[in-house]
Structure 1
């Protein structure tokens, strides 16, 4: 009995220790009702520790003096607020749109005053800004004006629609957001203003439109412009660039904008000339990023693209944006690199601290706390940096300032807490490169997915290798040349290796082995392509076995190229390469071309049979066998500075294969150049039509199967 009791106690102790070990000190605590994520430049999503934690809700208990009962107060909550601003004292100003007022809270969130402008009341104000002189600018949307008030709420100036010949007559002046720079120049975002921000001087005179978005131009637009008449094109609905939804600025004079109606470059960092400094989207621009901002997860019930409606810039230059559609907050550093993002599904009836139903605006105070205005719940949610978030901010700021070695201990701690967080790996890679640890830096840069850093580290490693092995390398080359010279000299002295005798033996060997003769014909095709393909058709220089061998070798070579080309030129290999998918795509495209070309040639007076097209299409892939693996090997000893050489070799290979397919059709079908071009164009169109038909057939088959299965379930249930 004592033994059993002891055993049970030991089991309970082990279970308790296991439960304690499973609790990670940096895991999301129970008071954080949302999940924080990081998405690398390959769109791989990782859960991580909370970067910000809820710290309170402001503006929910607003009691103002009761005008009908002096000395008494009355509850007056926010009503559909649309904007907030935090000044240098950390005082909060809220554009209380539904109540036609500006609510002023102190640094502790207590009511400090109300701005209503009784002599000229506000009408649905949607934007507020406070300059360094504590003057308050209000975007009074309903009154189509911008007003300037002093700290006591007294009217100083009023700016209506500016008069200028440069402003279109159709321009609608409905200011919604604004900022003011150190010169007193106003940058105003207007409702539907696709021309950009309205830039006014301190007197309200129009200066220019600033930071306009570009109009998207798709492939269908190009086709329309090519095929449509002028009258047809003019009847098309005009495509306009997206209008700026909000604007902010930092201490260095950069102006930031966000736009809802675009899928890329939703966030911009504009210099004084209006040029976007985030055009490449940070350090990962050389890999697989598309220049888009605003993150999202594939949660059930959440579809569509991000709709960014406001942003804020903290003291470290980090940019935080809110998505009014997906309820997600995304934060980027000053170069546009993602730091983290978070969000949670807001319940229809319940309200949780930290969950925002409709984020209308976002701001940052001097302590880098975030404040998000919830226009549905009529409150301001406050978020404070967690220990992990503060560590990331501090380490990233040191890295951005070029103090890589100082940031290394911090990044090591971040990496210890979360090994999948790519910015930490990138920071460690930069520190290793700075210290001259190029082999470690190369490995870390590859792990982080930054091709430029990997290339720079590889260049240094390659240089060091050449410096230490140059003497040995030259001795090997000289020794090989001497051995080759000696062998040729000896062969001549002894009378071996006559070219005529070797040629005769080779011809006899190939004649006795048809397969070798057919495989050797691939080299003749490269030298004389039209005659070579003509021989396949009329002289049986190609066969099924030889064509199969060439096709399989080309397929293998192509797969090796896709999977083993250097990370520098093919960053996608850092993610798992789907070899089976690559092989299937290659086979399907090649086989569909063979079928489509034979069908078109049969209708277009071609002389080639199906087997001739099949054999010729296999022989046309021969350059993949010759150059595929060499190009792959060469890519692994090159850097980005030699990218033009690699690009020339790679594109040259594809052009060579394309020309061989052209000459194959010309030689086998006995076409002229013009007939060959028409045949290839019709073949490509046929391939596209077949792909659409196959897709439709599979879709209908799937629907039919689902229908039959649903009928079967209905019958069996009843």
Structure 2
């Protein structure tokens, strides 16, 4: 009998060992079951080297004392755990939610103890925090309380719903995650708590809400507020800010939060005043982030990308922030300024489990060596990830850069750049180092390589200043020469004044003749309304002249879109093609001409189609007169002159818009009120035409597909 039991135990042990090795294959890191990616500020995604590799699985083999079981031990695995905390000694604490207990493991993953508190039992605890003094704070969600426990497991205090007049009656105290600062103040994330983190003092007194999200307000909401009555607006469903999902803190006192139900600002770094430090701009405005956190691995076959749902976060000793996505199973890591470092992950199989893939990430934490631990609430296990050589190199180089030690970081960034020349943080680090040592030409080149406008502008400003300083003597000599020439010309002008006047008159006669041949552009500049009236009623201008001006304007627009400095035209970094903008320009212009003629014909307009065409073509000349010089000028401007560039650019489009207005008024012989009405109906007609064209193309494609399917049926039969 004993021999049979021993044999049976040996078989069970062998089976358990094989199953465990299938999930935990020791140190074999040749392959990882996921790809690591980087995404730049223009949303271009590409693969990079693995930054974290799976190291092992912890918390799978848990046993409790049971006299009735063989050997006196009973296997008691985790059951949908929801939170994980790692203390300064790298020991792990798990909120084992469905088992209503706290599991304490040592740094190697061996069981230390299980806390159940028989006299004061837990009810679905979802969060915990271990203070530096050893006290443990447990978010006992089912009991609507926070439990404070000593290092020995003795219950010290309970924090229930605060008794405060400042709390609304509708507020429900369902704590899910929490942190405690050095003063003993509690910051508690509650279920559905859109007001922000609940802040309590060490005695449990309510101190206020902290770090609330803002309510999103769309254009539709503004229209509703403008048009709805008060009663109608009050019947609308209230729009509330997203509730904070999880919270963490670092040694510097910053509070970090993640939120699911927002489209921007999902990750926040809050100072003591509750202000988000990730929304500001640091040196060179070097945030490569657009304020959206939580990455998605783009699927080229997907019609619509699924939005991320951030569930938890952790902050390591270097200030790097790691978030996990409970919907997409993606792990994203950002530096202390919110710049993306890398992201990885993917969906785990339904029937098999691979080391490194997490089915339902519930929590994430890191130890003192910056290893990551992700709690899988479906597989009831903790997966450990360690930094690869590439990941450690990025962390070290980026940490030096964040500290302002650019010269020390440069050799490390050069090694990262050698391994991956498309990794933007490496180029940014090298650009900062070049700027700090005064190599502005190199910094300008590197900033341009990654499309960072502020850094490029600052570097170019320095280069431009140095160039002016070196050429100052030449400029002064040239100014003196021009001044002397001016004095000489003035003196000669007095002697040969009559001859000069005669030549000037001949010049202007020649210019007027040329102007008559090429069109009336010069006249439109001075007298736009009279000029457009003359096109219809005095026979000024011509279809050929208008077409020539239109072609020049079209070419100028293409030059504007392709030649403008990238600091004013960031889209040129992603797509240098001008074919699409030119087609858009031509289609919109032609649509305006057709719609304007149709509307004017129904509203007693006097213009013929050729008049509308010719006048609308002449109205595009500002793109050549203003747009081309402005594009050339943008090449020597920095962001310090952005207001000047913006004024001229808005002036360009404003001038073109006014010319179209005067064109309708002059050609159709309208009053100002009739012109406004005509333009409104023209825009409406263009919108209807666009819808009809879209429907026509859609139905045509469907018809072609239907005919082709019939052809296939006939051909097969």
Aligned to 2:297: 297
Alignment match of 1:379 (pick from 378, 381, 384): 381
1:300-326 Cα distance to aligned partner (Å, 9 max, x none): 568311111111000000001111111
CA 1:40–1:156: 2 relative to 1, 3 Å: same
What is the distance in 2 between the residues matched to 1:289 and 1:394?
21
Residue 222 (structure 1) aligned with residue 208 (structure 2): no
Which residue is equivalent to 1:640? 639
Aligned to 1:142, what secondary structure does the other structure show? helix
For 1:130-171, what per-residue CA distance to the aligned partner results, in whole angstroms no more than 9, with x for missing partners? 111111111111111111111222211111111212211112
Work out the CA distance in 2 between the residues paired with 1:707 and 1:205: 70
Deviation at 1:283, TM superposition (A): 6.7
Alignment of 1:216-615 (within 5 A): 216-280=216-280, 290-299=290-299, 300=301, 303-483=305-485, 486=488, 490=492, 493=495, 498-499=500-501, 502-504=504-506, 506-507=508-509, 511=513, 516-517=515-516, 519-615=518-614
Query: Is the 8 Å Cα contact of residues 283 and 450 (structure 1) preserved in structure 2?
Result: no
Matching residue of 1:22: none
Measure the CA separation in 1 of the matches of 2:440 and 2:267: 35
CA offsets, 1:381-404, max 9 Å, x none?
A: 100000010000000011011110
Is the CA contact (8 Å cut-off) linking 1:286 and 1:451 kept in structure 2? no
Would the alpha carbon gap of residues 282 and 505 (structure 1) be closer, same or farther in structure 2, given more than 3 Å must change? closer
Structure 2 residue ranges without an equivalent (≥5): 1-27
Deviations 1:196-250 (A, max 9, x none): 1111111111111111111111111111112222222122111111111111111
CA distance in 2 between partners of 1:470 and 1:702 (Å): 65
Structure 1, 292-301 or 166-175: larger mean CA deviation: 292-301
Cα distance change, pair 707–288 in 1 and its aligned pair in 2 (3 A): farther
Q: Which runs of 5+ in 1 are unaligned?
A: 1-27
The answer (yes or no) to whether the contact 1:429–1:445 under 8 Å persists in 2 is: yes
Would you say how many aligned residue pairs link Structure 1 and Structure 2? 688
Q: CA separation in 2, counterparts of 1:654 and 1:294?
A: 38
- Residues 286 and 455, structure 2, Cα contact 8 Å, conserved in 1: no
- Residue 104 of structure 1 aligns with which residue? 104
Equivalent residues of 1:288, 1:572 under 8 A apart: no
How far apart in 1 are the matches of 2:507 and 2:640?
Answer: 47
The 5 A counterparts of 1:194-233 are 194-233=194-233
Closer, same or farther: CA 399–555 of 1 in aligned 2, 3 Å: same
Residue 507 of structure 1 and its aligned partner are, at CA, apart by 3.7
Change (3 A) 1:266 1:67: farther
Indicate the larger mover: 585-594 or 486-495: 486-495
* Residue 173 (structure 1) aligns with: 173
Aligned mates of 1:576, 1:57 — CA distance in 2: 45
After TM superposition, give the deviation of residue 460 of structure 1 in Å.
1.0
Post-superposition CA distance 1:506-550 (Å, at most 9, x none): 546755x6xx41535111111111111111111121211111111
In structure 2, C-alpha distance between the alignment counterparts of 1:283 and 1:305, rounded to whole Å: 30
Q: CA RMSD in A?
A: 2.1
* Secondary structure of the corresponding residue to residue 683 of structure 2: helix
Q: Deviation of residue 419 (structure 1)?
A: 0.4
Distance 1:518 1:671 in 2: 28
2:20 equivalent in structure 1: none
The TM-score with structure 2 as length reference comes to 0.92
Q: Distance in 2 between matches of 1:128 and 1:289?
A: 31
Measure, in 2, the Cα distance between the counterparts of 1:288 and 1:114: 44
Report deviation, 1:482: 3.8
* Alpha-carbon separation, structure 1, partners of 2:288 and 2:93: 41
1:682 match:
681
CA contact (8 A) 1:429 1:442 kept: yes
Q: Is residue 2:670 matched to residue 1:668?
A: no
CA distance in 1, matches of 2:498, 2:713: 86
Q: Deviations over 1:254-306 (max 9, x none)?
A: 11111111111100001111111111476786898531111112225683111
Q: Which residue matches 2:24? A: none
Q: Tell me the equivalent position of 1:9.
A: none
The offset of 1:67, in angstroms, is: 5.3
Q: 1:552 deviation in Å?
A: 1.1
Task: Determine the C-alpha separation between the residues in 1 that align with 2:623 and 2:136.
Answer: 68
Secondary structure of 1:570's counterpart equals coil
| SS of match in other structure, 2:88 | coil
